[in-house]
């Protein structure tokens, strides 16, 4: 009898494992098909993603105009869109043009810095003269030389890229206008279109995802701006060249948590090493460490909504995977996508968890002698 009972339990466990494995394979196949479809429709999805990111930045102003000043939705969206275009045009004239003109020099300085580090490592006391290390460093130099300029000015790498960038920008601006104008009506409309429980679940997940995405974009932009200002001031005081491109690089890489700060700091220290020597390079390194400490211990508590609930290891893995799949764009979108996946997972876990048991009702006390009974 016990042997038969154990056999039944084993078959049940094996059957359960097989069902779970089959379900997992189906989910992975669906995810693969979804990613394939997204890749095929990337020309449409990319402007949509850019529009969503821009909307998260401009929505607080639109909400103020609509709720506090009682402006019509179309008027508020139009004014905010025009103001955004004016601000972007000013940034292009004041910052982007000088940065683009100095991007080649920035790449050359980085390459020279890597060469200096290699020459130092080849001498005593390290004596790293192995052919494999030299080949790896040469490969790194070539890669930086070919791509460092595109990090700060990726839209100027060719006619095709310029055309695609213009089309993406125009579509993203139109979509941003409609998101600002009709965004609050989207969730009620989505709820009316879906049947059954989906009419509650999907709008709730969409609302949580929107809040998470907005918190990430606004907080990273704010902290990146502070990092760029303080690090730029430090570089200017030390006398490091290419201060403006390095400040812009610091702001852009702030949208890639952990990895972005390390990369921007590495580039700044390399340029200081080549231009001013070891002493100034160490001073620049100290400035960057000080600013990063201020960011982690002062700026981050001020920006209370910055946290995404993701462990640092998850952020590193997400950035690595995104960069390997889609390069710079993938590294920029990796952390927001991981945060949205976390939002969906948390919601599903909440729905599948057992509800808390209701407390037992208190027993009715017997009436005191002389009191009339309530029955």
Instruction: Assess whether pLDDT exceeds 50 at residue 180.
Output: yes
Which of these, 211, 249, 238, 164, lies nearest to 336 by C-alpha position?
A: 211
Q: How far is CA 222 from CA 4, 66, 353, in A?
A: 66, 24, 37
Which of these, 306, 316, 311, lies nearest to 258 by C-alpha position?
A: 316
Query: Length of the chain in residues, anyone?
Result: 375
Query: Helix (H, G, I), strand (E, B), or coil: what is residue 70?
Result: coil
Q: How far is CA 116 from CA 106, 183, 271, 277, 322, in A?
A: 15, 53, 11, 10, 31
Residue 306: count of CB within 10 angstroms of its CB: 18
Greatest Cα pair distance, the chain, in angstroms, is: 103
Give the Cα separation of 276 and 42 in Å (integer).
44
Q: Which of 90-94, 130-134, 182-186, 314-318 has the lowest mean pLDDT?
A: 130-134
According to the model, what pLDDT value does residue 158 have? 46
Instruction: Assess whether pLDDT exceeds 50 at residue 155.
Output: no
DSSP state of 306: G
More confident residue, 40 or 355: 40
Task: Establish whether the linkage from the previous residue to 125 is cis, with ω within 30° of 0.
Answer: yes
DSSP state of 299: I
Predicted TM-score (pTM) of this structure: 0.67
For residues 235 and 284, the answer to whether their CB atoms sit within 8 Å is: yes
- pLDDT tens-digit map of 241-296: 778 888 888 888 887 777 777 888 888 888 888 777 788 888 999 998 898 888 76
| Sequence-separated (6 or more) residues with CB below 8 Å from residue 235 | 243, 246, 247, 268, 272, 284, 287
Instruction: Assess whether pLDDT exceeds 90 at residue 81.
Output: yes
Give the Cα separation of 243 and 9 in Å (integer).
69
Give the Cα separation of 113 and 269 in Å (integer).
9
- pLDDT tens-digit map of 109-126: 767 777 776 676 666 665
């Amino acid at each position: 009898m016990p042997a038969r009972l154990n056999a039944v339990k084993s078959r049940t466990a094996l059957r359960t494992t097989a069902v779970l494995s089959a379900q997992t394979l189906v989910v992975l196949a669906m995810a693969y098909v979804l990613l394939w479809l997204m890749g095929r429709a990337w020309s449409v999805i990319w402007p949509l993603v850019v529009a969503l990111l821009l909307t998260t930045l401009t929505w607080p102003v639109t909400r103020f105009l609509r709720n506090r000043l009682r402006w019509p939705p179309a008027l508020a969206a139009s004014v905010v869109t025009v103001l955004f275009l004016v601000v972007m045009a000013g940034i292009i004239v004041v910052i982007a043009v000088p940065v683009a003109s100095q991007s080649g020099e920035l790449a050359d300085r980085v390459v020279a810095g890597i060469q200096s580090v290699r020459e130092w490592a080849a001498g005593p006391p390290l004596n790293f003269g192995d052919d494999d290390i030299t080949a790896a460093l040469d490969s790194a130099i070539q890669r930086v030389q070919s791509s460092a300029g595109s990090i700060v000015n990726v839209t100027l790498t060719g006619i095709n890229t310029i055309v695609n960038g213009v089309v993406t920008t125009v579509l993203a601006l139109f979509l941003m206008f409609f998101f600002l104008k009709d965004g609050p009506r989207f969730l009620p409309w989505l709820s009316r279109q879906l049947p059954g429980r989906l009419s509650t679940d999907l709008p709730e997940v969409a609302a949580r995802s929107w809040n998470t995405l907005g918190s990430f974009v606004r907080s990273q932009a704010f902290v990146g701006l502070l990092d760029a200002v303080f690090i730029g001031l430090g570089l200017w005081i030390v006398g490091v060249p290419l201060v403006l491109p390095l400040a812009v690089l610091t702001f852009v890489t702030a949208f890639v948590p952990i990895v972005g700060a390390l990369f921007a700091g590495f580039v700044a220290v390399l340029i200081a090493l080549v231009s001013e020597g070891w002493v100034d390079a160490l001073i620049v390194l100290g400035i960057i460490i000080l600013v990063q400490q201020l960011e982690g211990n002062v700026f981050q508590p001020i920006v209370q909504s910055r946290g995404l609930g993701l462990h640092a290891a998850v952020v590193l893995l997400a950035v690595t995977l995104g960069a390997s799949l889609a390069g710079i764009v993938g590294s920029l979108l990796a952390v927001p996508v991981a945060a949205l996946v976390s939002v969906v997972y948390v919601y599903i876990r909440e729905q599948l968890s057992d509800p808390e048991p209701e407390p037992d009702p208190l027993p009715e006390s017997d009436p005191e002698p002389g009191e009339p009974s309530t029955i």
